[in-house]
Amino acid sequence: MRVYFRYAVKETLSNLWRNRMMTIAAVLTVAVSLSLVGSALLLKQSAAQASSQWQQGTRVTVWMEPNASAGEITNVQTQLNNLPIVKRCQYRTQAEDYAEMLKILPESEAHVLTVSDIPTKFSCVPTVPSDAFTVVSTFEHQPGVYQVTAPEQQIREMNRAIRILQIVFLALALVLLLSATVLILNTIRMAIFARRREVSVMKLVGATNWFIRIPYITEGFIQGLLGSAVAIGAVTALHIWYPLHNEFQLSTSSLIGTNIVVLIVGVGIGSVGSAIAIRRFLDV
């Protein structure tokens, strides 16, 4: 076993050096392809995170009649607190809304209204933006409720935009991953094709398929590992230096997770690609 291991290491290093130009080509192919894949995955995660933050900012406002009784206000408040699709609600009194109105409206218009003219309201955050429509339909005809408002058009547009972004980035990552696989496989096959006579000679003198295959698989593993390392550096640099808006910025754990995926894919493609590429030359 020790002799076999020593042979595999020696043969792998020898092949990498003897075919160093092909090795560099394979490593660069892995690096460029997986850098694009990793970047697409980061962008998909950024879109998902922005979606979560935008959802938290969605508000449904239940406006009460200015003359709504305490019982009607309490009834609406109780229903809102017991509604599972409502995450939280904040009740604002007439005085609080009047003070806020004074800050927004011009002085000439603000003093036309009095505190008694201002409705109280419940400002609520739905569990997901689409739940806002259910809240509107549930409370718009309740006793004491003047009107229920929600940014319905914005919610629809936001959900559609988020779905499109996530589908686009996922499709882009899959296409790039497929392209990377094909490019790496072809690069490895070209490298092995240049050594097909060596493989034939080894088969003729009695070497087993696995005896021949292991150095090439190890070579592909190292190429994938080196290419993944370069890709991880590129993805990390993109994460650190590329300016993203606050809601699109990802945490370090998201970056680490993406880099682990890049590493596994690179090593897997290199190893499996070599194993597949060598198969056609083992039939002598």
What's the rounded Cα separation, in Å, for the pair 264 and 20? 23
Task: Give the pLDDT confidence score for residue 180 in this predicted structure.
Answer: 67
Q: Is the dihedral of CA 83, 86, 90, 94 positive or negative?
A: negative
Return the pLDDT at 110: 65
C-alpha to C-alpha distance for 279 and 281, rounded to whole angstroms? 5
Q: What is the pLDDT of residues 186-227, one digit of tens each?
A: 766 776 677 777 777 777 777 777 777 777 778 778 888 888
Average pLDDT, the chain: 77
Per-residue pLDDT, 56: 61
Structure confidence at residue 69 (pLDDT): 87
pLDDT tens for 161-176 read 777 877 777 777 777 7
More confident residue, 166 or 272: 272
Confidence of residue 52 (pLDDT cuts 50, 70, 90): low
| pLDDT the model gives residue 117 | 76
- pLDDT at 80 (0 to 100): 87
With 60 as the cut, is the pLDDT of residue 246 above it?
Answer: no
Question: Regarding predicted confidence, which is higher, 281 or 229?
Answer: 229
* pLDDT: which is higher, 48 or 283: 48
What pLDDT shows up at residue 83? 86
Can you give the residue ranges of every domain in the chain? Answer: 2-53+158-279, 59-150
* Residue 247 scores a pLDDT above 60: no
Strand 121-126's sheet: what is its strand order?
Answer: 86-92, 121-126, 60-64, 145-149
Between 63-72, 77-86, 149-158, the lowest mean confidence (pLDDT) is in: 149-158
Confidence of residue 54 (pLDDT cuts 50, 70, 90): low
Taking CB atoms within 8 Å and a gap of at least 24, the contacts of 79-85 are 79/138, 79/139, 79/142, 80/122, 80/124, 80/139, 83/135, 83/138, 84/127, 85/126, 85/127, 85/128, 85/131, 85/134, 85/135
Structure confidence at residue 281 as a pLDDT band (50, 70, 90): low
Whether the per-residue pLDDT at 278 is higher than 70: the answer is yes
Does this model's pTM top 0.75? My answer is no
Averaged pLDDT, 139-158: 79
Q: What is the pLDDT of residue 53?
A: 64
* Model confidence band, residue 4 (pLDDT cutoffs 50, 70, 90): low
Question: Does residue 17 carry a pLDDT above 80?
Answer: no
The model's pLDDT over 77-107, given as tens digits with 9 standing for 90+, comes to 888 888 888 888 888 888 887 787 777 777 7
- Top-level CATH class of 59-150? alpha beta
Percent of the chain's residues with pLDDT above 70: 79
